[in-house]
Amino acid sequence: MGEVHRMNDPPADLDDQALLIGIVAGDEAALEEVVRRYHARLWRYVSRRVSGDLALIEDVLQEVFLAVWHGAARFRGEASVAVWIFGIAHFQTLHALRTRQRGADIIEFPEEDSAFAPVIPSAEDAALRRIHLMEALGRLSPAHREVLDLVCLHGFSMQETGEILGIPPGTVKSRLSLARRALVAALQKGARS
Residue from 53, 87, 167, 173 binding another protein (CB under 8 A): 173
Site string for another protein, 13-42 (x = CB under 8 A): xx--xx-xxxxxxxxx--xx--xx--xx--
Supply φ then ψ for residue 83, to 5 degrees: -60, -45
The contact pattern for another protein, residues 45-84, with x = CB under 8 A and - = no contact, is --xx---x-x--xx--xx--xx--xx-xx-xxxx------
- With binding defined as CB under 8 A, does residue 193 bind another protein? no
177: Cβ contacts below 8 Å, ≥ 6 apart: none
Amino acid at position 54, single letter: L
Q: What's the closest the beta carbon of residue 103 comes to another protein, in angstroms?
A: 27
| Residue number with CB closer to another protein (102 or 192) | 192
Size of the site for another protein (CB under 8 A): 73
Please pick, from the candidates 5, 55, 124, 125, the single residue that binds another protein as defined by CB under 8 A: 5
- Under rule CB under 8 A, residue 9 binds another protein: yes
Smallest gap, in angstroms, from Cβ of residue 44 to another protein?
5
